[in-house]
Amino acid sequence: MCGIVGLINKSGLPGDYNILKNMADTIHHRGPDEDGVMIDGPVSFFHKRLSIIDIACGQQPMSFKGCTIVYNGEIYNYIELKEDLKKKGHVFETSSDTEVILHMYVEYGNNSVNFLNGMFAFIIYDRNENQIFIARDHFGIKPLYWYQNENIIAFASEIKALLAHPSIDAESEPDNLYEYLTFQFIIGSGTMFKNIYKILPGSYMSIDLKNWDIKEEKYWEPNFNIDQYHTEEYFIVELDKILKKTIYQQLRSDVPIGTYLSGGIDSSFVTVMASKFLDTQIKSFSGAFKEGPEFNELQYAHLAAKKANAELFEVFPTEQEFIDLLPKLIYHLDEPVAGPGLFPQYIVSRLASKHVKVILGGQGGDEIFGGYTRYLVAYLEQALKGSIYETNEEDEHIVSLESMLPNLPSLKQYVPMMKSFLKEGAFDDMDRRYFHLVDRMGSIAQFFEPDFLNDCRHEAIFRKFSDNFNNPDTKSYFNKMTHFDMLGSLPGLLQVEDRVSMSVSIESRVPLLDRRIVDLISRMPAGMKFKGGEMKYLLKKTIKDIMPPEIMNRKDKMGFPVPLHIWSKNKAKDFIMDTLLSKKAKERNMINTDYIEKLILEEQPFSRGLWGLLSLELWHNQFIDK
C-alpha cells in the first residue's frame, strides 16, 4: 500500500525533482517507510512506500525490459500468476506482487489487467511502445486522479498531491458541487475540483507520448446476464468456495494483520472466517459511543469475537475529538463524501494502527448482496403498485406483499424515509422512484439561497443518475438499484475507506469486493438474492452455520450512527455555528445563514443535510480558501 505521483512534461524537458518531491510529501502518510524516484527525461515518478509484502526487496519504482512501474495496492493472486509466468520463462528477482504486475504487462500488454485480482492503481512507463499505461482496480478501491494542461499531465493517489504542483490551482467545479449536495458523492470521473478527474473503476488509460493521444477504456463492470439454470443450492456452494478462497488469499502479508468488527453480518463473517486460516489469535477493532444504547453495538461485536477467539480492542469516540478532528478528516478526504461515519471509522483505524499494519473489513457487502433497507422500502412500494394496477414491471415477480411480511419489522426506524417517499415518489417509473430515495437535495432546499438553487441543474443530475441506473443488462428493479450502488455510491464509500486507513498508515482490505464474488452474484436471479424481501438472503444462507445466530437474526442493524443530534446541542454547537455562519461562508452566497442559524439556535435535530453543508464548508476552508 503506497502513494504514487507521476508527471509528464509535454515540452520534453526533464522532470523537476523538487516539484515531484513536494507533491509526494503531501501524501507521506500513505507510505512512510521508503521513498523512491525515477526521472527519465520528461517522464518522472515518485513512490511513497508502505511495506507490506517483500519488505526487503519490493522497492519502487521498479523496472523490467524497458518498463517502469509505480503502484499502490495488493494483487491477491500474485503467487498463482507468478507460477504461470515462470512456466513462460519469466525469472523473478523479488517475491513482491509489484514485480508480478510488471512481468504480466510485459507478457500481455494492456490486457494484463484482466488477470489481476486485487485492489490496485498503477502507472507504467513503457519505453518500448513510447506510452504510459495507467490502470485502476475493478471497484475503485485504490484511488488515482489526473490533470492535464498544455504543458503537463499529472497523476497522483490523492488530489492534494496534484494541488502541490505550482501550475495546478484549486478551483471548485460548480456542477459537481450540486451533484455532491444531491447524493453526497459524485457519479463518474468528475471531482469537486475543476479539471481534476478520477480514473474510473474497472478502467485503464493509455497515453501515446508521440502524439499525446489519450484513450480510456473499460475492462470490467458487473454483468447481469442472468443464469436461469442453476439452483439456489448451487449458488450457495459456489459462494462458499469463493468466500473461503478470497479471505485466505487476502490474509497474505508479511506484517501483522487484523479486522474491523462492528457486530454486523459482514465484518463479523470476515473476522470469523479469517480466524480459521490464522495460526495466531486475530486482533479485532471496534468502536461505540457512550451517549446511549442506540449508539452501541458492542454486544454483537463481543459475540463475533468470542466465535472467532479474537482479541477485541474497543474505543469510544468523543464529542471533543469530533470537533478537533473533523477539519483534518475533510483534508484527508480531498473532497467531501458520504456521511459522518467517517469520524468513528477514523478513530477505530487509529486504534488499529497501534497494533497491526493490515486490516480486513466488511465494506461492499451491502451493495453486493443487497443489504440496504431502502431496497425493502422500494419493493414494498413496488409490490403495492403491482397489486393496485395489476402490473409487473419486471421479467418476473421478485417478491410479493405476503412474502415480505416477516421482514417488514426492519423498517421501524425508517418510517420517516417511507413517509417522504410515499408522499412524493411513489408509483413513478423505477428510476424516478429510486432517485427520490437517494436524492438529498429535495429535503434541504430551504438550506440554500434562492439564487444558488436557481443554478442547480437538478434534471441534468437525474439524467446522469438514470443513465447509470437503467443499464441495459439490468431487467429487475433490484439489479438496477444494486448496479447504481456498486458503480455510483460505492466508490464514494471506498474513498472514505482508503483515506481514513491511509491517514494512519494502515492498509485496509475489503474481501467481499472480490471480482469473483460479484461475477457470481450478478448472474443470480434477483428473486433468489432478495427472497421474500430479505436483505442479504443468499449471504445469510451461505454463512449461517459458522455465525452466531444472534447476529444472523438481527433486524436492528444501525451502521455506525454518530450522536450528532446530541452533540449539536452541546459543545459541538459552537463549532457548527462558527463554521456555517462564518464571514467566509456568508460571502459565498450559497447557504441561507438566517435559516441555518434559526435551526441551530432552536436546537432542531442535526440532519444528514446539515452534515453535508458542514463538510462542504470545511472543504472550502481547507482547499479553496487555503
Q: Are 375 and 478 within 8 A, CB to CB?
A: yes
- Considering the four listed CATH numbers 3.60.20.10, 3.10.20.90, 3.40.50.10320, 3.10.129.10, the one that applies to the domain covering 2-218 is 3.60.20.10
Q: What is the pLDDT of residue 376?
A: 87
**Given a cut of 90, is residue 554 above it in pLDDT?**
no
Q: Which of 359, 402, 170 is nearest to 270 (CA)?
A: 359
3-state secondary structure of 222: coil
Which residues does residue 4 pair with via DSSP β-bridges, in sequence order? 47
Q: Which of 587, 616, 622, 623 is nearest to 169 (CA)?
A: 623
Dihedral (C-alpha) 353, 358, 363, 365: value to the nearest 10 degrees? -140
CA contacts within 13 A on the Cβ side of 302: 5
| 157-197 pLDDT, tens digit each | 999 999 999 999 999 998 898 899 899 899 999 999 999 99
Q: What is the pLDDT of residue 290?
A: 92
3-state secondary structure of 64: strand
Q: What is the pLDDT of residue 90?
A: 96
**Given a cut of 90, is residue 422 above it in pLDDT?**
no
| 567-626 pLDDT, tens digit each | 988 899 999 999 999 999 999 888 898 898 888 888 777 778 889 899 999 999 999 997
Greater pLDDT, 385 or 195? 195
To the question of whether residue 97 is assigned a binding role by annotation, the answer is: yes
Instruction: Compute the distance between CA of residue 258 and CA of residue 326 in angstroms, rounded to an integer.
Output: 26
Q: How many residues does the chain have?
A: 626
Instruction: Compute the distance between CA of residue 207 and CA of residue 230 in angstroms, rounded to an integer.
Output: 43
456 is catalytic: no
Q: What is the pLDDT of residue 104?
A: 98
Task: Retrieve residue 2's grid coordinates.
Answer: 503506497
Domain ranges in the chain are 2-218, 232-369+487-553, 373-483, 564-624
Which one of the listed residues 2, 57, 67, 456 is annotated catalytic?
Answer: 2
User: Where does the pLDDT of residue 275 fall: very low under 50, low under 70, confident under 90, or very high at 90 and above?
Assistant: very high
The single-letter code of the amino acid at 610 is L
| 209-259 pLDDT, tens digit each | 999 999 999 999 998 999 989 999 999 999 999 999 999 999 999 899 999
Instruction: Compute the distance between CA of residue 334 and CA of residue 346 in angstroms, rounded to an integer.
Output: 15
**Given a cut of 70, is residue 81 above it in pLDDT?**
yes
**Given a cut of 90, is residue 292 above it in pLDDT?**
no
Query: Could you tell me what percent of the chain has a pLDDT over 70?
Result: 96
Q: Which of 199, 107, 194 is nearest to 155 (CA)?
A: 199
| 311-365 pLDDT, tens digit each | 999 999 999 999 999 999 999 999 998 889 999 999 999 999 999 999 999 999 9
User: Where does the pLDDT of residue 391 fall: very low under 50, low under 70, confident under 90, or very high at 90 and above?
Assistant: low
Q: What is the pLDDT of residue 325?
A: 96
Share the mean pLDDT of the chain. 91
| 504-527 pLDDT, tens digit each | 999 999 999 999 999 999 999 998
Superfamily of domain 232-369+487-553: HUPs (3.40.50.620)
Q: What is the mean pLDDT of residues 68-72?
A: 97
Angle between helices 232-250 and 515-523 (to 10 degrees): 170
Task: Retrieve residue 387's grid coordinates.
Answer: 397489486
Pairing of strands 67-75, 62-64: antiparallel
Q: Which of 29, 37, 40 is nearest to 2 (CA)?
A: 29
Greater pLDDT, 109 or 384? 109
Q: How many CB atoms lie within 10 A of CB 29?
A: 16
**Given a cut of 70, is residue 551 above it in pLDDT?**
yes
Q: What is the mean pLDDT of residues 39-56?
A: 92
User: Where does the pLDDT of residue 397 fall: very low under 50, low under 70, confident under 90, or very high at 90 and above?
Assistant: low
Beta strands in 502-618 (DSSP E): 507-509
| 115-167 pLDDT, tens digit each | 999 999 999 999 999 999 999 999 999 999 999 999 999 999 999 999 999 99
